Amino acid sequence: MKLLQQLCQIHAPSGNEQKMSEFLLNYINDQKSTWRHMPRVLHGNGFQDCILLVFGTPRSAIFAHMDSIGFTVRYGRQLVKIGGPDVANGYRLVGEDAQGRIECSLQYNEAEGEVQYVYDREIERGTELVFKSDFRETEETVQCCYLDNRLGVWSALQVAQTLEHGIIAFSSWEEHGGGSVSYLSRYIHEKYGVTQALVSDITWVTEGVQAGRGVAISLRDSLIPRRAYVQRIIGIAKESGISFQLEVEGAGGSDAKELQRSDYPWDWCFVGAPEDNVHTPDEIVHKKDIESMVALYKVLMEKL
Same domain, yes or no: 243 and 257: yes
pLDDT score of 80: 98
Q: Which of 81, 109, 131 is the last residue of a domain?
A: 131
Whether 159 and 205 share a structural domain: yes
Question: Which pTM value belongs to this model?
Answer: 0.97
Tell me the residue range of the domain where 196 lies.
Answer: 2-68+136-303
Dist. CA 254–CA 171, nearest whole Å: 11
Whether residue 221 sits in one domain with residue 186: yes
pLDDT tens digits, 44-85:
999 999 999 999 999 999 999 999 999 999 999 999 999 999
Q: Residue 34 forms beta bridges with which residues?
A: none
For residues 15 and 128, give the distance between their C-alpha atoms in angstroms, rounded to a whole number.
10
Mean pLDDT (the chain, rounded): 97
Residue 24 sits in the same domain as residue 97 = no
175 and 223 part of one domain: yes
The predicted pLDDT at position 84 comes to 97
**In terms of Cα–Cα distance, which of 215, 212, 220, 250 is closest to 236?**
215
CATH number of the CATH domain containing 28: 3.40.630.10
CA 235 distance to own-chain centroid:
25
**Contact at 8 Å (CB) between 273 and 289?**
yes
Total number of domains in the chain = 2
User: How far is CA 160 from each of CA 33, 55, 98, rounded to the nearest angstrom?
Assistant: 11, 9, 38
Q: Say if residue 39 is in the same domain as residue 146.
A: yes
What is the rounded distance in angstroms from the CA atom of residue 49 to the CA atom of residue 223? 26
For 217-232, the pLDDT digits (tens) are 999 999 999 999 999 9
Which residues does 138 contact at the CB level (< 8 Å), separation at least 6?
none
How many residues in the chain? Answer: 304
Same domain, 123 and 62: no
Residues 110, 149 share a domain? no
Residue 122 DSSP code: P
Q: How many CB atoms sit inside 10 A of residue 57's CB?
A: 11
- Residue 282's pLDDT band, with cuts at 50, 70 and 90, is very high
Contact 127, 97 (CB under 8 A): yes
